Amino acid sequence: MEHMSEKRYPVNAKDYKLYEAVGEGVSATVHRALCIPFNETVAIKVLDLEKCNNDLDGVRREVQTMSLINHPNVLKSHCSFPNGPNLWVVMPYMAGGSCLHIMKSAFPEGFEEPVIATLLREVLKALVYLHAHGHIHRDVKAGNILIDSSGAVKLADFGVSACMFDTGDRQRSRNTFVGTPCWMAPEVMQQLHGYDFKADIWSFGITALELAHGHAPFSKYPPMKVLLMTLQNAPPGLDYERDKRFTKSFKEMVAACLVKDPKKRPTSEKLLKHNFFKHARSNEYLARTILDGLAPLGERFRMLKAKEADFLVHNKVLNGDKEQLSQQEYIRGISAWNFNLDDLKAQAALIHDDVGVSNMEHPGVSSKEKDGYDDASSTTEKPPKTVNHFNVTPIQEDGLNDLQDVESSLASFPIRPLQALKGYFDVCEDENTTSSPNCKYSIQSDSDQQSLVQTSSMEVDQEIKNCYGDNLEKSSSLPKYVIPGRQKFFSGSILPDNILSPHKNVNGDGDRDYGHLKSQIEHNYSGQLYRQKRDMDVDDASGAVIQRKGRFKVTSADHTPKSASTNCLVNSACGASSSLTTPNVSAASVLPSLQCILQQNAKQKEQIIKLIKYVEQSFGHQAESSDASSTELLQISPASAREKELQAQLNHLQQSFESLVEELQRLKVVNAQLERQFNALNKQDERIEKVNKEQS
Ligand SMILES: Nc1ncnc2c1ncn2[C@@H]1O[C@H](COP(=O)(O)OP(=O)(O)OP(=O)(O)O)[C@@H](O)[C@H]1O
């Protein structure tokens, strides 16, 4: 194991010289930089704390994890410190960039097997270390595998990692919906029993496919579809025909990871003994094979960004091609989508498949084949014979199932449909389900380690507090203050409490009761997922809205909304008869409700934004300062809000136009009638004149 140098990196921005950007994430930009006193090139991740104000806990977790870890295959931070509105995280500079960037620049069809084996072995070593120390990475993907100039491989990005030693709220986070859909394990999507380290093994298998093909399976599909396909279809794998260039042991290794039942996946430790990794070579080999001839990272990053911008302009994104946009987001590895009914429908009915998803579970890998592990003792877990423990619906010709099939796919879940969709909506979660039974999984629970983590957590807290003083304190405690409003906002309520009742003391019990009551009345299980920079981790006694970085949010531990009044509201509004809290509710009865909720929610959102604008205009500063959440609300999705506003105007114009056309037609008819009458009268006149003439 590498022992990190004892040298202390300066914690002052003036000791660093910031160069070009080399990477960009949901919440940060990463720059190449020079540490002046050491004359050493480093990478500095510049996190805009204002942008991730809601997720300081996430930031703290990332910084903390990165400072504590000590393994050659895990990217650690040298130090971190605030600089103006930003937090700077100083790290070793990984000059090769991420595997995703390398593939995009030079290997669009993926890497050769020895390269893949080498990369994956290093990543697996990182996972063995992390898992042994109680961490689930939760975001293993090519975009988070970094390479330095010597070919050393490090797993990066701990923004969404979780520690299995955590208790209470942090523990609950293992029941949250984090990750990026293509790489996300089915049990993470399902949100049923929690998940454990095995979620990383699934993502690892998907990453193997990503490295082999240049993209992750289903990457061309929008997120909703990815979720459905992952849950409903057989797991993806290396295809017998298409992937002839790969060895049987590679196919077996992937198949072993991509088993839907997490218990049947090998541990990272066991997987490392798989024969496939015998193909692995040295770091120098990697540097020689995939880094030679590449442009400097900053240049590549600039080119990729330019290409991306070009793509956006030329691929109809500006004209509303959501499929392209969605794919583009995948490409960037950023995944926070704005779900709404139209999107879901469109997404579920998109495009023809050519991803070569195997219809059978892992074709080309015989169940009778040797399990592929180089370990005589490893007899407990065989690669599955029929590894799909879920009802598998055959993939249609086009590789997709239309929205109507959402129902059947829900029906095919061996679980409660609402639970399965919970990640999309603010369906509150039963507290009982929040503690993962898998937490008991055989990790070496080291109390020293735990106390180290806790102590360090306090240090980091203190460090950040020292630097940010009260402001940070306030923002850290912001969730407690905003919970009533926020909770209802996420749950589809119309207005935060202090807008409805600005003089109420939001911290007072009376108000809490009021908020609670309102929550009961207005909670409708809906709550759009808003695209946002960084998710948050909000918690309170009455209901936790746990959000995670750039991906999805989920509400947990809230029993209160499961009231009859809530269901009445939903049902009466939607005309659906199902009770949303009934575990055995049928998919057919749930779906219309869900659709209706989404529709209702979009409308509510429009109303909310209008009301907020109105209130802010009317009350000016008073409203501004008294309601932080309203401002956040506006920030949450300005693009989509604007889009909706424009759409509403457009609809209005269209309607006006249509009624004008109708009016015009009606007038034309009247006109024609008048003309006919006029002609008739004319003729009559002529006749009278004629008769008069004759008589005279
Ligand atoms: N130490 C480093 N050296 C070189 N490049 C780096 C380094 N750290 C990160 N990068 C690049 O910057 C990108 C963004 O970094 P990072 O993933 O940490 O940001 P993030 O906001 O957490 O991103 P995301 O939300 O997409 O996971 C990475 O994908 C990688 O390409």
Whole-complex ipTM? 0.96
- Round to whole Å and give the CA distance between 632 and 482: 11
- Which atom of ligand 1 is the closest one to the Cα of 94? 3
Longest dimension (CA), the chain: 131
Contact in structure between 493 and 522 (CB atoms under 8 Å): yes
Q: What is the pLDDT of residue 615?
A: 66
DSSP reduced 3-state for 514: helix
Residue nearest to atom 15 of ligand 1 (CA): 25
What sections of 321-446 are H helices per DSSP? 322-332, 341-348, 404-412, 417-421, 431-434
| Helix, strand and coil percent figures for the chain, each rounded to 5 | 50, 10, 40
pTM across the whole model: 0.54
Distance 154 CA to ligand 1 centre (A): 12
Distance 87 CA to ligand 1 centre (A): 14
- Round to whole Å and give the CA distance between 495 and 645: 19
Catalytic residue among 55, 139, 243, 535: 139
Which residues are known binding-site members for ATP?
Answer: 45
Which amino acid makes up residue 513?
Answer: D
Distance 332 CA to ligand 1 centre (A): 11
Q: What is the pLDDT of residue 374?
A: 62
DSSP reduced 3-state for 309: helix
Ligand 1: lining residues by beta carbon, under 6 Å: 22-28, 30, 43, 45, 75, 91-94, 97-98, 101, 143, 146, 156-157, 159, 333-334, 549-550
The structure tokens 């590895």 sit at: 333
Those residues whose C-beta lies under 8 Å from the C-beta of residue 592, and which sit 6 or more positions away, are: 574, 575, 576
Q: What is the pLDDT of residue 416?
A: 33
Residue nearest to atom 24 of ligand 1 (CA): 25
Q: Which residues of 225-252 are buried (b: 16+ CB within 10 A; e: fewer)?
A: bbbbbbbbbbbbbbbeeebeebebbbbb
- Both tokens of residue 323? 């499929």
Structure letter (DSSP) for residue 5: P
Residue nearest to atom 5 of ligand 1 (CA): 97
Distance 355 CA to ligand 1 centre (A): 27
- Round to whole Å and give the CA distance between 92 and 115: 23
Dihedral class, residue 191 (left if φ above 0, else alpha if ψ from -120 to 50, else beta): left
Whole-number Cα distances in Å, 101 to 19, 104, 340: 19, 5, 31
Substitution site in 30, 42, 94 for ligand 1 pocket (most atoms within 8 Å of beta carbon):
30
Whole-number Cα distances in Å, 584 to 230, 429, 532, 608: 22, 15, 33, 34
Burial bucket for residue 618 (CB in 10 Å: 0-12, 13-18, 19+): exposed
- Round to whole Å and give the CA distance between 292 and 696: 114
Of the candidates 124, 154, 58, 166, the one whose C-alpha atom is nearest the C-alpha of residue 449 is 166
The backbone torsions φ and ψ at residue 546, rounded to the nearest 5 degrees and listed phi first, read -100, 120
Which residues are known binding-site members?
Answer: 45
Residue nearest to atom 28 of ligand 1 (CA): 23
Substitution site in 24, 40, 138 for ligand 1 pocket (most atoms within 8 Å of beta carbon):
24
User: Element (H or E) spanning 656, and its range?
Assistant: helix 638-695
Q: What is the pLDDT of residue 318?
A: 53
Task: Kindly write down the DSSP assignment for every residue of 532-560, as one continuous string.
Answer: -SS--EE--TT-EEEE-TTS-EEEES--T
DSSP bridge partners of 545: 538, 555
Substitution site in 9, 18, 22, 103 for ligand 1 pocket (most atoms within 8 Å of beta carbon):
22
Structure letter (DSSP) for residue 524: -
Of the candidates 684, 609, 620, the one whose C-alpha atom is nearest the C-alpha of residue 644 is 609
The backbone torsions φ and ψ at residue 641, rounded to the nearest 5 degrees and listed phi first, read -65, -45
| Alpha-carbon torsion (416, 419, 424, 425), positive or negative | positive
139 counts as catalytic: yes
Those residues whose C-beta lies under 8 Å from the C-beta of residue 637, and which sit 6 or more positions away, are: 338, 530, 531, 532
- Which atom of ligand 1 is the closest one to the Cα of 91? 1
Q: What is the pLDDT of residue 300?
A: 93
- Both tokens of residue 375? 């370990």
DSSP bridge partners of 371: none
Distance 76 CA to ligand 1 centre (A): 12
Contact in structure between 395 and 359 (CB atoms under 8 Å): yes
DSSP reduced 3-state for 29: strand
Residue nearest to atom 27 of ligand 1 (CA): 25
Contact in structure between 367 and 384 (CB atoms under 8 Å): yes
Distance 24 CA to ligand 1 centre (A): 6
Neighbours of 427 (CB within 10 A): 26
Walking along the chain (696 residues) 10 residues at a time, the average pLDDT comes out as 66 96 86 97 89 66 74 91 89 96 94 97 96 88 95 84 44 47 83 78 96 92 82 89 92 95 95 94 96 94 86 63 49 40 45 39 44 52 35 32 36 33 31 32 33 36 38 32 28 30 34 34 28 33 35 34 34 35 46 62 70 66 46 50 80 88 90 91 90 88
The backbone torsions φ and ψ at residue 502, rounded to the nearest 5 degrees and listed phi first, read -60, -20
Residue nearest to atom 10 of ligand 1 (CA): 23
DSSP bridge partners of 32: 43
Q: What is the pLDDT of residue 377?
A: 41
- Which atom of ligand 1 is the closest one to the Cα of 27? 21
Residue nearest to atom 8 of ligand 1 (CA): 30
Distance 144 CA to ligand 1 centre (A): 7
